[in-house]
A and B are shown apart, each in its own frame.
Chain A
Amino acid sequence: MTDVFQLLVAGLSIGSIYAMAAIGFVLLWQTSNTINFAQGEFVVLPAFVMVLFLTVFRFPFAAAFVATVIVSTLLLGLLVKKALVDRLIKMGVLPLVIATIGLSMLIRYSLQQFWTPLALPFPPIFSRQPIRVGGVIFSFEEVMNVLFAAVVIGGLQLLIRRTKLGWAMQAVAQNRDLASILGINVSRLVGLTFMLNAALTAVAAILIAPVYLVKYDIGIGIGLKAFYAAIIGGFNQVRGALLGGLLVGLVETYSAAYISNQFRDAFALIIIIGVLLLKPEGLLGVKEEWA
């Protein structure tokens, strides 16, 4: 029975990291119709950058973190937006999808070739000490992950609901043309969203790196899970991505413990497809009206 609680925390811990990647994913889709196939690599690259700042430049942790977020925001946010999205978004969704596929390959194989194909160790941020609460053992790291992610996501929710920027994002997500007529600089807003996504993935990277290890090919799995999470939760709701991410984390953790290796992936998939067939707009998504 204590197992269940332990797994719950572990699942929420990894789930909140997936949630961050998924939320950024959904924000990109909502504001600019971008399906970012490179989202996984957007998490891997900052992880590598962090290692760079920590081990090569020997920055103190906080400085390295800030530097990583800045680099990620400029490179994966602003640069990608200006170089790829601006040109391709008017051509429909697919050319941009293929371009992001190319981008994910580029990042992945560049890291493999120019840095290392091996896994790099990453220092744990939070102590791995176990905490005891009435017979149940939690990992401090996992609890901190959840809290840290909660703060970030909570902050993001505040941003979206209470600030002008957030309102502008919602406006653009709902009706791009109208938003632009009302004076919102849509292009600049999309740029800001990309930067926000890059910042989110950088944070996710730092939380996930101690758990997963930093290797050039972990992006594939992460990206896929962000996609699953966004689909389950509902592509048109940030809250949905949050729920989806947590669910994916929980399903992954519980099935790893209780279901044999072979069927683990299938189990998660069947749930996803079930959701899709029964409630295609996602658990929290909003239905479209046509008969």
Chain B
Amino acid sequence: MGRWRTRALLAGAVAVLVFPVLLEQYKLYLASLTLVYLIMAIGLNLTLGYAGQISLAHAGFMSFGAYAVAILGPLGVPFEGGLLIGALFAFFWGIVLGFPALKVKHHYLAMVTLGFNIIVFLVIRNWESLTGGSFGISGIARPQWGPLRFQSDREYFYYILGWTVLVVASAHWILHSRWGRAFRAIRENEMRAEVVGVSLRNYKLMAFAIGSAYAGVGGALFAPLLTYIDPGAFTLDRSIQFLMMVVMGGLGRFEGPFIGAVVVTLLPELLRASEGFYLIIFSLAVILMMLFMPKGLVGVWDWLVCWITRRVVGPADPPAPAEPAAVLEPK
């Protein structure tokens, strides 16, 4: 079963590499945006899905990466430098935000992270000399390595893809290490975790820091996409959008962010034909998806993989993928 899952993922990877050759402008933009959102979702899935720490500050961390690149670029800092600085800055503030997570939980934590997001937004909007305030920053340059320039939309797509692969690989490493198991332990039974030696402080801070750093990376890659950013891209709404991606995809499952990012980014686009109604249909879809698949669409993915496996290999071991626990348990 595991072997076939790997093959399915590899096939998907090949498709992602080849497909963009066929796409043109707007669809290419969507594909690039989906990759960026995937990076965001992977980060939030680590903090919330695996470690069980709710964060509504994700868009705030995204802005650190975006503005780092936008501000440092014209100063001569190469794109990768801006990206790393933004990610480190996000990492640092992720730790800072992790401290309240040690004292409060659930809805209180949601409130603190929500507050952080709004404060970041207000700072960006008001610090005009640094960030251009409401006017934002335009003319953001795309990366180049000497003669090699990632200028065109297609070239930039492959650049983003490269970073996405790095993010996915590193997330895979982390989540399948003992850290991943410790995160899950905290999510499933925090008290027991502490009693078996899990330092809640260290792991919770790391969950926030790493998730936020990924958001910083995503933000940095986001900035040159439209070559323009303004505070409006980093509001609470955006954090809620990432929350939706992670929950609808499947919390605490590695495939979750992939599905969530694709659905939340592409579904409204597919519905655009219906003009004004597309948000109404989208919100209905959200409600229905939660009603019928509260553990996320990853259930459909599991079923699909199973079905294909049985067709190709013949009936095999009973499928028992580890299902994510309900993250915030009712009292």
Q: Which residues on A are within 8 Å of B, measured CB to CB?
A: 29, 33, 35, 83-84, 87-99, 101-103, 105-106, 109-110, 112-113, 176, 227-228, 231, 235, 262-263, 265-266, 269-270, 272-273, 276-277, 280-281, 290
Closest A residue, CB atoms, query B126:
A262
Given A84-B291, A98-B244, A276-B100, decide whether A110 and B111 contact each other with a Cβ distance below 8 A: no
Instruction: Report whether B119 and A99 are in contact in the complex, using a CB–CB cutoff of 8 Å.
Output: no
Query: In this assembly, does B19 line the interface, its C-beta being within 8 Å of a C-beta of chain A?
Result: no
CB-CB nearest 5 A-B residue pairs: A92-B326, A102-B286, A105-B283, A93-B328, A95-B294
B283 pairs with A106, CB closer than 8 A: yes
Name A231's contact: one of B111, B284, B295, B331 (CB within 8 Å).
Answer: B111
Q: Are B118 and A113 in contact, CB atoms less than 8 angstroms apart?
A: no
Contact A93 B106 (CB under 8 A): yes
Kindly provide the distance from the CB of A219 to the nearest chain B CB, expressed in whole angstroms.
13
B106 proximity list for chain A (CB < 8 A): 93
Interchain nearest-CB distance for B131 vs A (Å): 14
B107 touches A94 (CB 8 A): no
Asked whether, in the complex, the Cβ of A280 is within 8 Å of the Cβ of B240, the reply is no
Which B residue's beta carbon lies closest to that of A272? B115
Among the stretches B3-11, B63-71, B272-280, the one at the interface with A is B272-280
A272 to B111 CA separation, bound complex (whole angstroms)? 9
B44 at the interface (CB under 8 A from A): no
CA distance A265 to B231 in the complex (A): 15
Number of interface residues of B (CB under 8 A): 43
Are B327's CB and A92's CB within 8 A?
yes
In the complex, what's the smallest C-beta–C-beta distance from B104 to chain A, in angstroms?
Answer: 4
- A94 B247 Cβ-Cβ under 8 A: yes
Please measure, in the bound complex, the distance between the C-alpha atom of A87 and the C-alpha atom of B293, giving whole angstroms: 11
Chain A residue nearest in CB terms to B244: A98
A93 to B284, CA, bound (A): 19
Main SS at interface, chain A: helix
B290 within 8 A of A: yes
User: In the complex, what residue of chain B is closest to A30 when comparing beta carbons?
Assistant: B331
The A-contacting residues of B in range 17-44, CB under 8 angstroms, are none
B282 close to A (CB within 8 Å): yes
Q: Cβ of A93 and Cβ of B330 under 8 Å apart?
A: yes
- Is B130's beta carbon under 8 Å from chain A? no
Given the known inter-chain contacts A84-B287, A273-B112, please indicate yes or no for A113 contacting B294, CB distance below 8 A: no
Of B286, B291, B327, the residue contacting A93 (CB under 8 A) is B327
Q: Which residue of B lies closest to A234 (CB)?
A: B108
Q: Do A277 and B111 contact each other (CB < 8 Å), given the known contacts A102-B284, A106-B287? A: no
Q: How far is the CB of A154 from chain B (nearest CB, A)?
A: 27
Do B247 and A290 touch (CB < 8 A)?
no
Q: In B164-222, which residues have CB < 8 Å from any A CB?
A: 191
A94 touching B328, Cβ below 8 Å: yes
Q: How far is the CA of A89 from the CA of B331 in the complex (A)?
A: 11
B115 to chain A, nearest CB (A): 5
Cα distance, A109 to B271, chains bound together (Å)? 14
User: Taking the complex as formed, is B311 at the interface, i.e. its CB lies under 8 A from any CB of chain A?
Assistant: no
* Chain A neighbourhood of B328, CB < 8 A: 92-94
16 A-B pairs with C-beta separation under 8 A? A87-B294, A88-B290, A92-B326, A93-B330, A94-B251, A94-B327, A94-B328, A99-B287, A102-B286, A105-B286, A106-B283, A109-B279, A113-B280, A266-B119, A266-B122, A277-B100
In chain B, positions 131-159 with a C-beta closer than 8 Å to chain A are: none
| A113 nearest in chain B by CB position | B276
Residues of A within 8 A of B285 (CB): 102
Q: Is the CB–CB distance between B100 and A101 below 8 Å?
A: no
| A149 → chain B closest CB, angstroms | 24
* Cα distance, A227 to B126, chains bound together (Å): 25
B111 touches A101 (CB 8 A): no
8 additional contacts, CB 8 Å, given A89-B330, A176-B331?
A29-B107, A35-B110, A87-B291, A88-B291, A93-B329, A102-B285, A276-B108, A276-B111
Chain B residues within 8 Å of A269, by CB: 115, 118-119, 122
Q: In the complex, which residues of chain B have a beta carbon less than 8 angstroms from the beta carbon of A35?
A: 107, 110
How many angstroms between the C-alpha atoms of A29 and B55 in the bound complex? Answer: 19
B240 near A101: Cβ-Cβ < 8 Å = yes
Residues of B77-127 whose CB lies within 8 A of A? 100, 103-104, 106-108, 110-112, 115-116, 118-119, 122, 126
CA distance A84 to B284 in the complex (A): 12
Contact between chains at B111 and A105 (CB < 8 Å): no
- Using A98-B247, A227-B111, A231-B107 as known contacts, say yes or no to A92 and B290 having CB atoms under 8 A apart: no
Inter-subunit contact A280/B103 (CB<8 Å): yes
B225 contacts A by Cβ under 8 Å: no
Q: Which residues of A contact B115 (CB under 8 A)?
A: 269, 272-273, 276
Given contacts A106-B283, A269-B118, A280-B104, A98 and B290 within 8 Å (CB-CB): yes
Q: Give the shortest distance, in Å, between B237 (CB) and chain A (any CB).
A: 9
Q: Is B59 an interface residue when CB atoms closer than 8 A count as contact?
A: no
Q: B248 on the interface (CB 8 Å rule)?
A: yes
Measured CB to CB, the nearest residue on chain A to B49 is A94
- CB within 8 Å of A: which of B306-331? 325-331
Closest to A276 in B: B112
> Which residue of chain A lies nearest to B48 when distances are taken between CB atoms in the complex?
A94
Once the chains bind, are B119 and A102 in contact (CB under 8 Å)?
Answer: no
The reply to whether the CB of B223 lies closer than 8 angstroms to some CB of chain A is no
Assembled-state Cα–Cα distance A235/B107 (Å): 9
Give every chain B residue within 8 A of A83 (Cβ-Cβ): 291
CA distance A128 to B126 in the complex (A): 36
CB distance from B197 to the nearest CB of A (A): 16
Cα–Cα distance between A109 and B285 once the two chains are bound (Å): 14
A133-B58 Cα distance, complex, nearest whole Å: 50
